[in-house]
Structure 1
Amino acid sequence: MRILVVFESMFGATEEVAEAIGKGLAGSAPVEVVNVDKAPRDLTGVDLLVVGGPTHVHGMSRAATRKSAEDQAHDPTRSHTGVREWLDSVGTVPAGLPAATFDTRIDKARVLTGAASLGEAKRLRRRGCRLVVPAESFFVGTAPEDGLKPGEAERAEAWGAALGRIVS
């Protein structure tokens, strides 16, 4: 079984979540955690695809929202490409590929913040993937330097472990 976790991260929090999810999934099968900038465009041979990114303006990032994030960053941003663009550029997707989505967002009601994971899920379904769990959000502080809220990395690892048990 081959598991691929693809993430987009501006300030590092989403990358931290992706790594924690990968750690949780590793109990089920070998896992590759990859920045969207280096993600493969051919998913042949992938048995589970997990995709995640930060929530920007109620949904998935766009070029303009990534530019705004770069302008706020004290350090260089982690991803230059967005999950939206990567999903649109992927060529081969095995029919019925099991998939899951996650995002990072501030800890307020989803109706107020939106959730990138919902857009990711919609795009994956359009590509013929089968979502095996509901989209999940992990929470960050309101400023870029705040990072993940306490306990979120552990929650992401547990989510990854549960996801691994579901698909194995």
Structure 2
Amino acid sequence: MSETPRALVVYESMFGNTWKVAAAIRDGLTTASDTDLVRVDRAPAEIPADVGLLVVGGPTHAFSMSRPSTRADAAHQDEVVMPVETGIREWLEELPHSTRSTLTATFDTRITKVRRLPGSAARSAAKMLRRRDFRQLTAPMSFYVDDTTGPIEEQELARARQWGVDLGAELRSASAQARLRKHDIDR
């Protein structure tokens, strides 16, 4: 794993389902890279220099990333697992532009019965990261919960873990290609 850069998974979760997905992605990524899992309200203000892959995920609220008002609405529905003040939208808005080639991947959770509705927290987060000069490693991914507060099925968690494995393989490949390019330039 020493040749593969570290990964950082930053997530927002209201009822714990997105946290479970983020943990499964982390578990898959650890097959290729040292990986940290951090709740968004505890995420670093800047991406550490040794992080080669930033994975960001949160629930889809009102066709996009959550807002303070949608998180407050969630808190009125049931007990939430994290403070409602900070979500991935606010964290990404404050994140400095990338000055190096940090790769990103984004994911969201959505309700199974509304799979075809437009809008996605993962696509919105990917767009915001591109505007901050981060490079997208793969297309945004959605994982499905049975209802607003869950539960999330085991097959979705298995799919999230496999996505993490796949991200790790892509990160390893991208890292090897970057080392080859650097070697060619240094010659």
**Structure 1 residues 107 and 113: alpha-carbon distance in aligned structure 2, compared to 1, 3 A threshold:** farther
User: Unpaired segments of 5 or more residues in structure 1?
Assistant: none
Aligned to 2:58: 53
Q: Once the two structures are superposed, what CA deviation does each residue of 1:101-141 show, in whole Å capped at 9, x if it has no partner?
A: 00000124654152110100000100101111100000001
- The structure whose Rg is larger is 2
User: Unpaired segments of 5 or more residues in structure 2?
Assistant: 173-187
* Cα contact 2:6–2:35 (8 A) shared by 1: yes
Q: Does 1:10 align with 2:14?
A: yes
> Which letter maps to 2:27?
K
Q: Once the two structures are superposed, what CA deviation does each residue of 1:133-165 show, in whole Å capped at 9, x if it has no partner?
A: 100000001241x32134111100000000100
Q: Does 1:102 align with 2:117?
A: no
* Cα contact 1:70–1:77 (8 A) shared by 2: no
Aligned to 1:165: 169
Q: Distance in 1 between matches of 2:41 and 2:125?
A: 16
Map 1:35-50 → 2, pairs under 5 A: 35-45=39-49, 46-50=51-55
* Cα contact 2:8–2:38 (8 A) shared by 1: yes
Q: Does 1:130 align with 2:141?
A: no
Structure 2 length-normalised TM: 0.84
Q: Distance in 2 between matches of 1:21 and 1:27?
A: 11
Map 1:11-160 → 2, pairs under 5 A: 11-45=15-49, 46-73=51-78, 75-80=79-84, 81-91=86-96, 93-108=98-113, 110-112=115-117, 114-144=119-149, 146-160=150-164
* Cα contact 1:18–1:52 (8 A) shared by 2: yes
RMSD (Å), alpha carbons: 1.5
Q: Give me the identity figure in percent.
A: 44
Superposition deviation, residue 91 in structure 1: 2.8
Q: Once the two structures are superposed, what CA deviation does each residue of 1:37-85 show, in whole Å capped at 9, x if it has no partner?
A: 1000111311100000000011100000000000011x23324311000
Structure 1 length-normalised TM: 0.93
Aligned length: 166
* Cα contact 1:3–1:48 (8 A) shared by 2: yes
Structure 1's consecutive aligned runs of 4 or more residues displaced over 4 angstroms after TM superposition are 108-111
